[in-house]
Chains A and B, each alone.
Chain A
Amino acid sequence: MDFTYDDEQKALQQAVRDLAGRNAPVEQQGDQPVGPAKHDPKVWSALAEMGLIALPFAEDLGGADASAVEVAIASAELGRARVATAYAEALVAAQAIALAGDDQQRKELLPPLLEGESLVVPALSEPGRAWSLDAYDVTASGAEGAVTLSGTKEPVPFADAAERFVVSARVGDKTGLFVVEASDAEVSGQRVKLSGTPAKALGALDDAPAALAAAVNLGILTVSAEALGAMDAALPMTVEYLKTRKQFGVPLAAFQTLTQRAADMYVSVELARSTVLFAAMRLAEDAGDSETASRLKAVTGQSGRHVGQEAIQLHGGIGMTAEYAVGHYTARLTAIEHTFGDTRHHLARLAAGLRDHEQVEVLAG
């Protein structure tokens, strides 16, 4: 096992860092907008131009033939600079199309998505329902070629900027994947209302669950790496603040109770880093390794919560403001925790599989 980046990966990291730096919110220039990220077509084009959306997909699909590892490298840089985009959502949609779609669907749908021309996002969450890969309340009906979907998906992040959706829907007692044109659905904010809306089945029904799981695994990796980047930024900001902020005539760093907690934050960040890098390598080999994805989400979820909360606390009041970056990192980490299933969801998934192994093995034989 080797956790170091090769030269190409280092170059990618630097390139994304530069790109993210150019598109990052400017610090100390008044209040930064709060709340869910909005789609910014300019930033999105920049990502696409650098080929970041295409990274993990095969060349014949319009991809860059890199892997999940490169996705994690890129996403961490976006997280570090607080550039929140539809990156994870687009990758989930693209992976679902790549894995479940038939040849024609891949040829038609993937290139414009990977090139940043038409945004496709997954529509999976259902109002009043806990996160699940199974659809319950959105149902599909009609024969092949004349399928329609009914029900509501919400929240669908970036729905208002998307051209089409990859929708999970109930078919009998199974969950299938469907492609819906945004113009055929009723979209308002993050809600997508479907009422007899025409849809195209994405590949065969029986392949859908595995494809969806693998697609969401890639999404989990992408947001977890973004969380790592956010933690990687929030920790040094906090350390710097402890060195410079003075109370009682001394820098806060003179209070051991605070420096020890910064040390605990460091521990959390490093554990998250190891887990992200490991999961990236694993998912690059086997996109369907949901156990690794769940373990990743649980570890980064707990680290993110710890680091986000402590970053604010050690800053005191200033950490609570919209003007100062640290609270925004915490807000983003909180959103990530609730994207693609929270820690508790993934722990439950892991709990269900405890009898399948005696110990967790990280070294592949």
Chain B
Amino acid sequence: MRLQLSEEDAAFQQQMREFFTTKVPADLRERWAAGGEPAADDIRLAQKTLNDAGLAVPHWPTEWGGQEWSQLQRHIYLQEMQAASVPPPLAFNANMVGPVIATFGSQEQKERFLPGTASLDIWWCQGFSEPNAGSDLASLRTSAVLEGDEWVVNGQKTWTTLGQHADWIFALVRTEPDAPKKQMGISFLLIDMKTPGITVRPIQLIDGGHEVNEVFFDNVRVPADQLVGERGQGWTIAKFLLGNERVGVAPVGSIKRKLADAKAYAAATKSGEGTLLDEPLVAARLAELESQVAALELTVLRVAGNSKEGKPDPASSILKLRGSQLQQDVLEFIVDIAGSASLEWASTSDSDGSDLATWTGHATPTYLNFRKASIYGGSNEVQRSIISSGILGLKG
């Protein structure tokens, strides 16, 4: 056990802080901090800036742009990035398909895809879920049939985040319909979104935003060399990917950033002769959230140190479960601080005709939008099942 950062880690922290706050344009970071629907170009520019400095994919193998950092340094890196409101590298690229290709892909696939995946010259989206395959992902039905040296894909994916910007989709498809177990018939396929037969239809969410889509495949022909790993290995790959997703998903730095914002908002909101921060119930809630977030951060640090050979510690489910809860709690608290000002939405009102602080107009839509955090990436119910069966040995 050791409390202080080593001199080396403290210097690393300083270096990261300086990079994120000076090399990523301030206006871009301000837009990201303000919330609302993120602009694709901001995400592109941020990732390119990071990648040019070797900071987009530090957890990848070094030959593909990774860094030989300790777990603690990775945490510091993420922490500083989120504290500076830098859009993180696109998760579909950096945390999902990149590590998959690096681990399961052929040499040719690595050379073809990894550089563009790190730089975001290729924007990936995730084609896993289907209308009838959500938590029960293995029941997916989108099919791929080999004809000559092409897979012919038919079916439908849904909830495809930012699919409207994507150049490529990584999809789970059923290639062996007769496999004895449904998990055994699935393969992992890389598909160019420009291939004829693909249609993208937007889904509007309750905050009014368009971030998810349905993706339809109608006789889409995919070259056979775009299948990753072995035929029928898709489920193993998906489990590897979802495990990584879980670890990457506790956004402690951005929760802390938001909570600090919440405190500033409370201090800036007049209440009687003082401010909302002087109200005992508001202050108590803030103190409660700060303690809970600190406990989560400490757990992230402790658990990250335990993952073995890239295999996530089952305790990483704590991070997804508690991380999404706290993220939601903080956003809920921000709506409460906005109070009646939260009744006006930035997206539906005209800002010139308003005296309200900008953040209040994002409070409600952002709160509603982040109800997603306990649904995607393995819902909180699924995380609890992993904890109860995987850790506690309680087979449900």
Question: What residues of chain A have their CB less than 8 Å away from a CB belonging to chain B?
Answer: 31, 34-36, 125, 127-132, 134, 136, 152, 154-155, 157, 188-191, 246-249, 255, 257-258, 305, 309, 312-313, 316-317, 319-323, 327-328, 330-331, 334-335, 338-339, 342-345, 347-348, 351
Which of B282, B341, B354, B375 has its CB near the most chain A CB atoms (within 10 A)?
A: B341
Q: Which 10 interchain pairs have the tightest Cβ spacing? A: A188-B353, A327-B206, A130-B271, A247-B136, A35-B348, A322-B204, A34-B208, A127-B355, A125-B340, A35-B345
CB-CB contacts of B315-352 with A at 8 A, as 1s and 0s? 00000000000000000100110111111110111101
Tell me the nearest residue of chain B to A126, going by C-beta: B270
Report Cα–Cα, A130/B272, bound state, in Å.
8
Tell me the nearest residue of chain B to A261, going by C-beta: B381
10 intermolecular pairs with C-beta atoms under 8 Å apart: A127-B341, A189-B344, A255-B381, A257-B381, A313-B374, A328-B206, A338-B338, A338-B340, A338-B343, A344-B279
Q: Is the CB of B379 within 8 A of A348?
A: no
Which residues of chain B are within 8 angstroms of A351 by Cβ–Cβ distance? 280-281
Say which residue of B135, B136, B340, B350 sits within 8 Å of A188 (CB atoms): B350
Say if the beta carbon of B75 comes within 8 Å of chain A.
no
Supposing A131-B339, A248-B136, A258-B381 touch, asked if A34 and B355 sit within 8 A by C-beta, the answer is no
Q: Is the CB of A317 within 8 A of B336?
A: no
Which residues of chain B are within 8 angstroms of A155 by Cβ–Cβ distance? 340-341, 343-344, 356
Q: Is the CB of A154 within 8 A of B159?
A: no
Q: Is the CB of A330 within 8 A of B206?
A: yes
Stretch with Cβ within 8 A of A (4 or more), from B19-27, B45-53, B93-101, B365-373: B365-373
CB distance from B289 to the nearest CB of A (A): 13
CB distance from A38 to the nearest CB of B (A): 9
Q: Is the CB of B371 within 8 A of A342?
A: no
Say if the beta carbon of B276 comes within 8 Å of chain A.
yes
CB contacts under 8 Å to A, within B257-293, are: 268-272, 276, 279-282, 285
Report Cα–Cα, A330/B368, bound state, in Å.
8
Say if the beta carbon of B380 comes within 8 Å of chain A.
yes
Q: Is the CB of A190 within 8 A of B343?
A: yes
Q: Is the CB of A132 within 8 A of B271?
A: yes
Tell me the nearest residue of chain A to B337, going by C-beta: A130
Say which residue of B270, B369, B376, B379 sits within 8 Å of A128 (CB atoms): B270
Supposing A36-B343, A190-B343 touch, asked if A129 and B270 sit within 8 A by C-beta, the answer is yes
Which residues of chain A are within 8 angstroms of B269 by Cβ–Cβ distance? 128-130
Say which residue of B203, B353, B369 sits within 8 Å of A189 (CB atoms): B353
Tell me the nearest residue of chain A to B272, going by C-beta: A132
CB contacts under 8 Å to A, within B197-237, are: 203-208, 212
Tell me the nearest residue of chain A to B133, going by C-beta: A247
Tell me the nearest residue of chain A to B364, going by C-beta: A334
Which of A155, A347, A351 has its CB near the most chain B CB atoms (within 10 A)?
A: A155
Interface contacts beyond A36-B345, A128-B268: sample of 7 additional A-B pairs, CB < 8 Å, sorted by A: A31-B204, A34-B348, A127-B355, A130-B276, A131-B340, A248-B139, A338-B339
Report Cα–Cα, A161/B199, bound state, in Å.
41
Which residues of chain B are within 8 angstroms of A157 by Cβ–Cβ distance? 343
Say if the beta carbon of B298 comes within 8 Å of chain A.
no
Which residues of chain A are within 8 angstroms of B332 by Cβ–Cβ distance? 305
Report Cα–Cα, A319/B369, bound state, in Å.
11
Tell me the nearest residue of chain A to B273, going by C-beta: A136
Q: Is the CB of B271 within 8 A of A320?
A: no
CB distance from A307 to the nearest CB of B (A): 13
Tell me the nearest residue of chain A to B357, going by C-beta: A128
Which of B205, B282, B374 has its CB near the most chain A CB atoms (within 10 A)?
A: B205
CB distance from B231 to the nearest CB of A (A): 25
Which residues of chain A are within 8 angstroms of B272 by Cβ–Cβ distance? 132, 134
Report Cα–Cα, A229/B343, bound state, in Å.
20
Q: Is the CB of A129 within 8 A of B135?
A: no
Report Cα–Cα, A323/B357, bound state, in Å.
30
Q: Is the CB of A323 within 8 A of B353?
A: no
Q: Is the CB of A320 within 8 A of B355?
A: no
Q: Is the CB of A34 within 8 A of B344?
A: no
Supposing A191-B355, A320-B371 touch, asked if A331 and B206 sit within 8 A by C-beta, the answer is yes
Supposing A130-B270, A316-B135 touch, asked if A339 and B206 sit within 8 A by C-beta, the answer is no
Q: Is the CB of B281 within 8 A of A320?
A: no
Report Cα–Cα, A351/B381, bound state, in Å.
36
Q: Is the CB of A348 within 8 A of B336?
A: no
Q: Is the CB of B271 within 8 A of A35?
A: no
Q: Is the CB of B339 within 8 A of A36?
A: no
Supposing A334-B335, A342-B336 touch, asked if A320 and B364 sit within 8 A by C-beta, the answer is no
Q: Is the CB of B280 within 8 A of A348?
A: yes
Q: Is the CB of B355 within 8 A of A321?
A: no
Which residues of chain A are within 8 angstroms of B29 by Cβ–Cβ distance? none
Supposing A36-B345, A130-B271 touch, asked if A338 and B336 sit within 8 A by C-beta, the answer is yes
Report Cα–Cα, A176/B158, bound state, in Å.
55
Which residues of chain B are within 8 angstroms of A127 by Cβ–Cβ distance? 341, 354-357
Say if the beta carbon of B134 comes within 8 Å of chain A.
yes
Which residues of chain A are within 8 angstroms of B354 by Cβ–Cβ distance? 127, 154, 188-191
Say if the beta carbon of B175 comes within 8 Å of chain A.
no
Report Cα–Cα, A327/B272, bound state, in Å.
34
Supposing A191-B354, A347-B281 touch, asked if A35 and B335 sit within 8 A by C-beta, the answer is no
Q: Is the CB of B380 within 8 A of A313?
A: yes
Which residues of chain A are within 8 angstroms of B134 by Cβ–Cβ distance? 247, 316-317
Which residues of chain B are within 8 angstroms of A317 by Cβ–Cβ distance? 129, 134, 158-159, 212, 372, 375-376
Tell me the nearest residue of chain B to A348, going by C-beta: B281
Q: Is the CB of A344 within 8 A of B345?
A: no
Supposing A154-B354, A317-B375, A322-B206 touch, asked if A339 and B340 sit within 8 A by C-beta, the answer is yes
Say if the beta carbon of B31 comes within 8 Å of chain A.
no
CB contacts under 8 Å to A, within B156-182, are: 158-159
Q: Is the CB of A331 within 8 A of B368?
A: yes
Report Cα–Cα, A257/B383, bound state, in Å.
13
CB distance from B373 to the nearest CB of A (A): 11
Say if the beta carbon of B384 comes within 8 Å of chain A.
yes
